[in-house]
Structure 1
Amino acid sequence: MVKEWKTLCPQVNDIARKVGLFIAQQSQSFDRKATEYKGLNNLVSYVDREAENRLVEALSKLLPEAGFITEENETTHQISTKQLHWIIDPLDGTTNFIHGLPVFAISIGLMHENQMVLGVVYEVNRRECFYATLGGGAFCNAVKIQVSPILQLKEALLATGFPYHWFDKNEIYLKILNELMQRSHGLRRMGSAAVDLAYVACGRFEGFFEFNLSPWDVAAGSLLVQEAGGKVGTFGKAQDFIFGKEIIAAGAIFEEMQEIIQKLWH
């Protein structure tokens, strides 16, 4: 099956690039009046929906036997009895997109049974296509990538995401940020978990953590990190970083970073 995923990946990359071009074109003339609210600070637009429609249509033709778990179509959220599932975020970083901040991406993951086997993150504005297949390594625009070799947190640049609609753990979260900012080169909040994970995979960030995430935020990026030589796990009670709503991803600083977060997270 490994060979099959490698054969499939270039076609998924092409699909991501084509839909990415549509998103880039729309960003030039997007009117914020077209924004809708799915919930508190949870934004969506016709661009998200149209991008998802295009992805689902193209991927359905590519792999007709696969099901879908996608952000915008509620009917696809539940795991079915199918062995293969595409896990898709058509526009990760919607809030950035709506505000004209050029950090947003397409995230496409393929899960076989309970294992990620293919992941593509296409960063629209930089036209960087990050991709990985199980056992096949990780790449960006055909160049092999690896996680950062930095060994100590004190030399690391970290990424995270701030809560935007679930604020119960704000006090704990701020304690973690306070601890990490004193022990590292700093923290960045890019506004797209898919981009954060891709940047960990290629060594731009040494580590990333966030909670209250959805599977489509992390499915593709988690495989990128693992295939680039990094580690991915959780820091609370969840065991599953795809569906457990929390994730930590890093290179050599993984254990040090995880230990600090776990001590404060309760």
Structure 2
Amino acid sequence: MHPMLNIAVRAARSAGNIISRSFEQQDKVEVELKGTNDFVSNIDKAAEQAIIDTIQKAYPNHCIVSEECGVVDGSDQDYQWIIDPLDGTTNFVKGIPHFAVSIALKVKGKLDQAVIYDPIRGEVFTASRGKGAQLNGSRIRVKQSKDLNGSVLATGFPFKKKHHSDAYFEMFKTMFVKTADMRRAGSAALDLAYVAAGRVDGYFEIGLKPWDTAAGELLVVEAGGLVTDFVGGHNHSQSGNIVAASTKVLKEILKDIRPHLGESLSK
């Protein structure tokens, strides 16, 4: 394992231990609203600090971008860690056991290392640039489905961007009639990890942040898939609109999304 990936896994496990212990003691979880339909808990913050401490102990000069504390500048700008300490906070606070720790590392602007850790299932999804993707050490691959017929797609409702609801549900409806089924599980990181592992055939969502998707993007690419924005470009980390799948399925998803985009979702 790459030494920086090893540190990322160690940091993810440290955060996961805090999260899984707290999940069994819901009375000690303190929740506040940080934005419209956007929850944060004391456990998000504790898990985030555990990750930052682990990274800074090993690489004190690296930069860090994290969901809760924002940007932590370092003297070495070539290395940037992108952290979501608890992706699926709403599931966590409601007692639904589906959430993950997401950590990615960019080197000179390119995704280089990634880990997504599901502490409830004990599943560690990892990827290193050019080295493929693994689940608990075993190689994983994107499912190479030929089209949407018989496929299962993952998605997320635009709960922070409800002004896009009409466009989103038109996209959903167009694809739903072609697929075997759709899944909305509440963790973008795990949705992307599941695409990489071949558990679902594709994934699309509106209005995400870089820490939601960075690790999952590298996992999908290293597992043989593609990740784009809604027009097939590479602006998803800025727009927050993301599609991930095999080449053929992604092409089908983009074709079904296109008629419903409008100007704001075409960027």
State the TM bucket, normalised to the shorter chain. over 0.9
For residues 232 and 142 of structure 2, the distance between their equivalents in structure 1, rounded to whole angstroms, comes to 26
Aligned counterpart, 1:190: 185
> Equivalents in 2 of 1:260, 1:6: separation in Å?
39
The match for 1:86 is: 81
**Which residue in the other structure is 1:107 paired with?**
102
Matches within 5 A, 1:220-259: 220-236=215-231, 239-251=234-246, 252-259=248-255
Question: Which structure 1 residue ranges, 4+ long, deviate > 6 Å from structure 2?
Answer: 78-81
| In 1, Cα distance between equivalents of 2:12 and 2:158 | 28
Q: Report the secondary structure of 2:227's partner residue.
A: strand
Listed one character per residue, the Cα deviations across residues 61-115 of structure 1 (whole Å, up to 9, x for unaligned) are: 2222210110001344x99981111000000000000000000000000011221
Equivalent in the alignment of 1:72 = 68
Three-state SS of the structure 1 residue aligned to 2:235 is coil
Distance in 2 of aligned mates of 1:11 and 1:165: 32
Q: Does 1:18 align with 2:14?
A: yes
State how 1:151-162 maps to structure 2 within 5 Å: 151-162=146-157
Task: Please report how far the alpha carbon of residue 134 of structure 1 lies from its aligned counterpart in structure 2 after TM superposition.
Answer: 0.3
Residue 230 of structure 2 aligns to a residue whose secondary structure is coil
Q: How much has 1:165 moved relative to structure 2? A: 2.5
For residues 34 and 256 of structure 2, the distance between their equivalents in structure 1, rounded to whole angstroms, comes to 34
Supply the distance in 2 between the matched residues of 1:229 and 1:165 (Cα, whole angstroms): 30
Deviation (angstroms), 1:14: 2.4
Identity value in percent: 37
Query: For the residues of structure 2 that align with 1:130 and 1:75, how far apart are their CA atoms?
Result: 25
Once the two structures are TM-superposed, the CA of residue 239 in structure 1 deviates from its matched residue by 3.6
CA distance in 1, matches of 2:151, 2:135: 22
- Amino acid in structure 2 at the alignment position of 1:96: N
2:171 equivalent in structure 1: 176
* Aligned 1:42-61 pairs, distance under 5 A: 42-61=38-57
| DSSP-derived class of the 1:69 partner | strand
Q: What's the counterpart of residue 210 of structure 1?
A: 205
Contact 1:210 1:247 in 2 (8 A): yes
Mark the runs of 5 or more structure 2 residues left unpaired by the alignment: 263-267
C-alpha displacement of 1:168: 1.2
Instruction: Give the conservation status (yes or no) of the 8 Å contact 2:61–2:76.
Output: no
What's the counterpart of residue 148 of structure 1? Answer: 143
Aligned to 2:265: none
Contact 1:119 1:221 survives alignment (8 Å): yes
Within 5 A, what are the aligned runs for 1:21-40? 21-31=17-27, 34-40=30-36
3-state SS of paired residue (1:253): helix
Distance 1:61 1:32, change over 3 A: closer
Give the distance between the partners of 1:197 and 1:11, measured in 2 at CA.
Answer: 21
Q: Is the 8 A contact 2:14 2:50 kept in 1?
A: no
Measured in 1, the distance between the counterparts of 2:118 and 2:205 equals 19
Instruction: Say whether the 8 Å CA contact 1:157–1:206 is kept in structure 2.
Output: yes
Read off the aligned partner of 2:228 and give its amino acid letter.
G
What's the offset of the Cα at 1:40? 1.3
Matched, 1:199 2:194: yes
Give the letter aligned to residue 26 of structure 1: S
TM-score (norm 2): 0.93
Amino acid at match of 1:40: T
Quick check: 95-104 or 5-14, which moved more?
A: 5-14
RMSD: 1.9
The amino acid that maps onto 1:110 is L
Q: Which runs of 5 or more structure 1 residues have no equivalent in the other structure?
A: none
Partner-residue secondary structure (3-state), 2:236? coil
Structure 1 position 22, deviation (Å): 1.4
User: Aligned with 1:87: secondary structure?
Assistant: strand
8 A contact 2:153–2:182 mirrored in 1 = yes
